[in-house]
Chain A
Amino acid sequence: MRASFASRAAARVRARSSVEDGIASKVECLLEALGADPAFADAVLGDLTEEHARRAARDGARTARWWYVGEALRSAPHLLASAVRHASWRRRARLSAYIAAVLLAPAVAVIALFGGNGLPAQLVADMGSAADIVVNNVRPVQLAMRVLDAAGHVLPDTGVRYRWSAGVPVPVSSTGVVTCTQPGDATVHASLGPLTTRLTLRCRPVLDVRAFRMLNIVVGGPVAEVPFLAVDADGQRVTQLRGQITVEDSSVATVNVTAEGKQLLRARAAGSTALNVRIGDRDAHMEVHVYERASTPEGIRPGQHLAVPVQVRGGDMRQWRLAASPELY
């Protein structure tokens, strides 16, 4: 397909009249811009133009045009390799810039679309509800804010500053460490650059969490509210609470929160586990024993938990025998 330079040039001039001038000139401009060796590029394009003319006469202009575009694209790697080999350092730099731009533009677009974070646009309390923060801690506690951009992406919260502005006088540091020295409500402003959010700090210090040390529930029995009492320095019940109830072994029992915020303990399977209630910086631990229903406790094995429903009227008495055992009942 290679021809001598003279015949090629002549053919190219002739063919040019019938070839899409626009396509050929664009390809030439592109190759020139990419820094391809002019002689090499001319040779390749000359061959293409000659073949295009033949195909246009034989297959029609439309088919020949598509063939020309396809072949020009197929030649691009060779032309780029030629440019790298023969071009001056300046052209190589320009070529590198073009390649980098071609590769980076889609990458930047993808990152901006799926993973990019913008400037801080919103400050939201990360404790409690949107603008209300219940603090049951007696010791100093760090307030937490979430910094979001306009698209809702979470940004680092470094640099958020806090300031007490009204209400009960409780110490609030500029970094957001608050000490609820007394019960009451305070207004605190959190700011990050031009963003400012007003928070209502509900100081409800809890001095003690009181609870039964043991809970006994039955599989399939009624769901029980976790029985505990949080009290303040005067021994009065505190009702606004923020904390956590955890069960050590969730195969034995689980805690579910209702829409009203009640913490319900549900028996899952016979066995023993532990339950921990943590409110502010105080907590209470409970043993939880879950029993399975049975008709009699007689013959109970070590580790078993059995529950026998009993109904008696006046004068009634029921009796069962428990075997001697080195273990406690």
Chain B
Amino acid sequence: MLPDGDEQHMPRLAIVGAYCGPALDTHSFFCLAKRDASVFVYHSRVGDQTREVNGTLAVWRQPQP
């Protein structure tokens, strides 16, 4: 998840159905999806619920070896 300016207020990210570990920067993950996986982006339940948060979901599928 890439912040759109404000790193404190960006959407939360969850990945279900894949094995994931931290990648090379703070908001990234490397994931292996042996089966179909799901990506969820949601608003934090903490803080101002009326405030819209922005970000960019960046997905890179590595090239075939």
Which chain A residues have a beta carbon within 8 Å of chain B's beta carbons?
212-216, 218, 221-222, 272, 287, 289, 291, 297, 300-329
Which of B37, B39, B55, B60 contacts A304, CB < 8 Å?
A: B60
Chain B residues whose C-beta falls within 8 Å of the C-beta of A216 in the assembled complex: 2, 25, 28, 58
Which of A212, A302, A317 contacts B24, CB < 8 Å?
A: A212
Q: List 27 A-B contacts (CB under 8 A).
A: A213-B24, A291-B59, A291-B60, A297-B39, A300-B59, A301-B61, A305-B58, A305-B59, A305-B60, A306-B58, A306-B59, A309-B54, A310-B11, A311-B54, A314-B48, A314-B51, A318-B40, A319-B39, A319-B41, A320-B57, A322-B38, A322-B39, A322-B59, A328-B31, A328-B62, A329-B18, A329-B60
With contacts A313-B43, A316-B42 known, is A214 near B59, CB below 8 A?
no
Residue of A nearest to B10 (CB): A310
Residue of A nearest to B32 (CB): A328
* CB-based contact B58/A289 at 8 Å: yes
User: Number of contacts between A and B (CB, 8 Å)?
Assistant: 149
* CB-based contact B2/A327 at 8 Å: no
With contacts A304-B61, A307-B57, A329-B62 known, is A214 near B38, CB below 8 A?
no
Chain A residues whose C-beta falls within 8 Å of the C-beta of B6 in the assembled complex: none
Q: How far is the CB of B1 from chain A (nearest CB, A)?
A: 8
Chain B residues whose C-beta falls within 8 Å of the C-beta of A328 in the assembled complex: 30-32, 61-62
Chain B residues whose C-beta falls within 8 Å of the C-beta of A297 in the assembled complex: 39, 57, 59
Report B7-51 CB contacts with A as 1/0, cut-off 8 Å: 000010000001000011100101111111111111101001111
Chain B residues whose C-beta falls within 8 Å of the C-beta of A327 in the assembled complex: 61-65
Chain A residues whose C-beta falls within 8 Å of the C-beta of B24 in the assembled complex: 212-214, 287
Which of A215, A287, A329 contacts B59, CB < 8 Å?
A: A329
Which of A212, A307, A325 contacts B61, CB < 8 Å?
A: A325
Q: How far is the CB of A296 from chain B (nearest CB, A)?
A: 9
With contacts A213-B24, A317-B41, A317-B42 known, is A291 near B58, CB below 8 A?
yes
With contacts A310-B11, A312-B53, A315-B43 known, is A323 near B33, CB below 8 A?
yes
* CB-based contact B60/A322 at 8 Å: no
* CB-based contact B64/A313 at 8 Å: no
Q: How far is the CB of B52 from chain A (nearest CB, A)?
A: 5
Distance of A326 Cα from B36 Cα, bound (Å): 11
* CB-based contact B57/A324 at 8 Å: no
Residue of B nearest to A286 (CB): B24
* CB-based contact A318/B41 at 8 Å: yes
